[in-house]
Structure formats: structure tokens, C-alpha cells
A and B are shown apart, each in its own frame.
Chain A
């Protein structure tokens, strides 16, 4: 199932706007995919203009591979939905890729609960992608709880970036 050209154009505009607001070094710092085949694009940290639109690096840096969540929440906000819509558009255009969605939590919680919370976040992203035409057979989810923070300060500025789901292009395997 595809999406209309018009919708895709809106998604890309939204994604570019989000990407422009982000610090490019953030992407490169995320060097631990954890799951098999993760991080395929992490070494390509140069100008996004040089990236092939069908490359995992383009997905990661231009479309935007992550969405953020409020404290203890897994509800998708407006910004998260626009990024996920762009992800769905890209995945529908590039059907050869499978993905793993990682769910993460900040450190303000107990270990087991944060694993459950990360699972909820990954699943929220998954359900949005499926509702936007991505086949569920292309998607795996995994929770890292609070085990893999991106930012290491103990303040909301860091916590906000750590409460995330990350869509990792996994490439060749099928589920």
C-alpha cells in the first residue's frame, strides 16, 4: 500500500524541518545499535546533500530515525507522528529494507519497568508505521530500557533525548 505523492511531499518537508533543528553530531554519537545489522549509516556523517535518497544514511539523517516521548509516556505527539509518517513514506518507497525499532527510557526509573516502557514506545512507533502502510513482517521491536542513553547528564535536557524510539535500518534479514 503506497501513500499519495502529496502526502509524501508533506512528510518530507516536515522531516527536513525536524532534521534542520537537530544537531548533526547527535546522530554520530549513537554508535550502538545493539541489534544485528544496526548502525549501517553511522559512519556517513558528512553533508546530507551527498546522500543517496534510498540509502540508510539518508533515512537516518534526512528523514529522521528517532522520535521522542514525554516522561513515562508512549503516546506519539504531533512531531513524533510527522517523523514517523516520513519514515513510513521512505520505507514504502524502499521496500527492500527491514527495520528494528528500539525503545529507550531515561534513567529515572527502575530497570525492569523501563524495559517495559521501552517496549511500549517501540510498539507505538511500530503501530504507526503499520497503519501507514509498512508491512508488519518488515518490523522487529526491541527495548533497551535505560541501558543505552544517548545523553549522559542527569537533567531533563538529556532525559528528553533519551526517551526515544529509534528506527534502525536492518537490511538483509527477513522475519
Chain B
């Protein structure tokens, strides 16, 4: 695994400048914020197997790239059955006419070689109609077991070059895996690739676990567990799957934790004497600072990306609404003023928006608003949608949708911030409380 990561670091270093430069010079461009009427057609023929043992992976990597791009809703794959050219040599000139004929506006080709446990992926993107490369070709190396990550790296590069935005495919999601009936639901923490692959369980189901949250580096997860009989904030090292209690006192309910962007500070709620307030704790010293002191429920704090402010929910006005305060507490200003109740605010990684859960007239919605509360947009509507989390590029939101009734079941969904491309995320069991990691290195 270490060798795999080292290989990826080299690839990522080469990738960053190319993505920025080419995004501005290529005519093939999707503006994500525009209303995209027609997804951009692309072709990803099977990557070329450049060693005898690379055959299976070269096809699988191409399939993951195609699924990543098509899964955004911004691209549409021209299926292999329609292809005229077959790519048998990664270094041979592209037969543009063959790809124009099937209206594939973007073409992604690749070559895959396997030497022992070592996998090398080369790839290039082409703007078919201008007959230009989409940036320079790139190469990633790693171990064969990390082949899906390399495919996601390819997708991130292509996405970035066409949209001008960073991608989100080489990322993970930590969530609560659910099984059993509603009145005896078993919950355990799980982690997976953003697309539902490679599910790994992090806790057993002996205690209720809730709302995991990644550290800024993606190496740790905060969550709430009832392991002691009371809700307490735990921190878990993802690689070693080691966990410890973070919140200070036994018998005091602590929940709704989130890291500050510096990774050294956490915020969470504590309930004392029936009153729930927000506290801030330095992890190293354990120093606890109370940030709110109203007799109302203050919870679900989330930092702005620069760490200077916290958005949270409070029912101090008589119903749940969203507020913003300085990161060290003090006076808060209300930002939600529409009809209904607002909760679970999450500041976007770009800093421009707050995602939230809204309850209005018996329906639940996921929505976004600017950080001053203006330009509210509801993206979804169902019996119970809640708990949004942002993709690392701030363009897609994942959340929990629970169905109605005695057989009600929780499923993860994703939607882009324009409200398009709503779709379930595949998980082995029921799933709730997703948290999206930063892009991996």
C-alpha cells in the first residue's frame, strides 16, 4: 500500500499544473454551473494491455473511468458497440475521423502494464473535433490492488481538463451501515470508495454509532458512539482501525462532532441538564471551550473552510434555524428565513454555499444557500432526506434518504448542486450519515 501511495504522489504532482493550464486553452469545455442540456459524448475504448498479464485490468480500468464520467451526468458514453476504430497501440496516432463519425467529442485512451505486483497506467485525452490532446498524457504507477484508485485518478484528470474544476473520484465515503428492523436497527461504521466499491467495516454493530466525519487529511474519523451507554465522541484512525473516546466526561452526552480545518480542533454538542450547546476542544490538550450558552438546542456545527466561522442550527427562535458565528463563539446571526425548519448545515469546501436539511409541510429537502442565507435552492424532496455532505470539489452532495413505513430503509443518494443527476449510491446494506473525504493524495 505504501508503495502504491508513493507512486500516486508522483502522478499527482505532474497532474496539478497540466489540469489548470489545459482547462483554459481547450475549446472542449463544460461549465458546470450552466444548465447543461445535453451531456457531452465521450468514448473510452478498453485500455491497451501492454504486458501479457494486463488484459483484464486494462478493460476494467476503462470501465471505471467510463462509469466515473457518465456518473456525473455531465458526460454520456458512446458505447463500445458503436466504435469504428479499435485502439491496439496506445502510441499510435488517433483516427479522429472514426470518432467524429460516432460523435464522440472526447476520447480517452490508455495503456496498462503489469510487472509482478506493479501496475502502470498511461493515458491521454483527446478533443476529437478540434483534433487536439486534452493536456499532456500522464502516467500513474502503483500496486495492482489499487487499480480502482488509478482509474479514478485518470477520471479526475479528464474531468478537471474538461470542466476546469478539480475532480472528486479518487475519494472515499465513511458512513453508517444499517441492518435489521426499524425498532432494532444495527449500526456500524463503514468506509468505501465514493462509488460504493471496496466497502470495509470499521466497527461492529454492538453499539449505536452516528454521523462519522473525516479529518481534513482524511486519515481520521470522528463519530458518536453509545459504546459506554451514553453518546460520546470517538476518534478513529482509519488506516489502523484504532479508536478512542475523545469527549471529556463520562455521563455527559456528546455528539455531532466535526473537525476544524486545522485538524487540531474539534467542535461538538454536549447536553447538560437538558440543554444542548456547542463546545470546542483542542485535541492535544483536551481544553474545552463553550461556544454557545442559550437555553435552546444548539447543534450540528460546521466550520467554514478558512476556519474563521461556524455555521450551526439552533431553535432559539422557537424553531430550528441556521446561524453563523465566529469560530471562538460570540454573537450569532441567523441566515435561514424561509418557511419550515432548517438543520444539519454544512459549509461547502469552496466556501461559497451552505448545504442543509429543510423540513416543510411534512416533507424533507436537501438544499443549498449562500453563506448569507440568500439564493436558497432546494435540490431534493422526499419523506425523509437528511444529512448532506459535500464532494471535495463542492459540486455534488451525498445524503441519506429513508423510506416511509414499517419497512422503511435508509439509502445513500447523491445529487449535484443544480439539483440534477439524483441517484442512489450502491451499498451492501442500508446506509446513512455519509461523509465525503477530501481528494486522496
Asked whether any CB of chain A lies closer than 8 Å to the CB of B273, the reply is yes
Q: How far is the CA of A42 from the CA of B300 in the complex (A)?
A: 35
Best-surrounded residue of A110, A123, A175 (most CB of chain B within 10 A): A110
Tell me if B229 and A34 are in contact (CB < 8 A).
yes
In the complex formed, the residue of B with least CB distance to A108 is B359
Asked whether any CB of chain B lies closer than 8 Å to the CB of A56, the reply is no
Q: A110-B344, A115-B271 are in contact. Are A143 and B253 (CB under 8 A)?
A: yes
* Chain A hits for B271, CB < 8 A: 115-116, 119, 143
Tell me if A116 and B231 are in contact (CB < 8 A).
no
Tell me if A119 and B276 are in contact (CB < 8 A).
yes
Q: A110-B386, A110-B387, A115-B231 are in contact. Are A149 and B183 (CB under 8 A)?
A: yes
Which size bracket describes the interface of A in this complex? 35 or more
Tell me if A32 and B184 are in contact (CB < 8 A).
yes
* Chain A hits for B300, CB < 8 A: 110, 112-113
Q: How far is the CA of A154 from the CA of B208 in the complex (A)?
A: 22
Q: How far is the CA of A64 from the CA of B370 in the complex (A)?
A: 49
Which size bracket describes the interface of B in this complex? 35 or more
Q: How far is the CA of A153 from the CA of B386 in the complex (A)?
A: 19
Q: How far is the CA of A95 from the CA of B151 in the complex (A)?
A: 66
Asked whether any CB of chain B lies closer than 8 Å to the CB of A140, the reply is yes
Asked whether any CB of chain A lies closer than 8 Å to the CB of B182, the reply is yes
Tell me if B320 and A113 are in contact (CB < 8 A).
yes
Say how far B185's CB is from chain A's closest CB, in angstroms.
7
Tell me if A109 and B405 are in contact (CB < 8 A).
no
Tell me if A113 and B299 are in contact (CB < 8 A).
yes
Say how far B193's CB is from chain A's closest CB, in angstroms.
24
Tell me if A148 and B229 are in contact (CB < 8 A).
no
Tell me if B182 and A119 are in contact (CB < 8 A).
no
A-B contact sample (14 more), CB < 8 A, given A110-B320, A111-B210, A142-B231? A34-B208, A34-B226, A35-B230, A74-B274, A110-B300, A113-B299, A113-B300, A113-B320, A115-B271, A120-B276, A142-B229, A143-B271, A144-B208, A147-B185
Q: Using CB atoms and an 8 Å cutoff, list the residues of chain B in contact with chain A.
A: 181-185, 208, 210-211, 226, 229-231, 251, 253, 255-256, 269, 271, 273-276, 297, 299-300, 313, 315, 320, 343-344, 357, 359, 383-384, 386-387, 402, 404-406, 408, 433
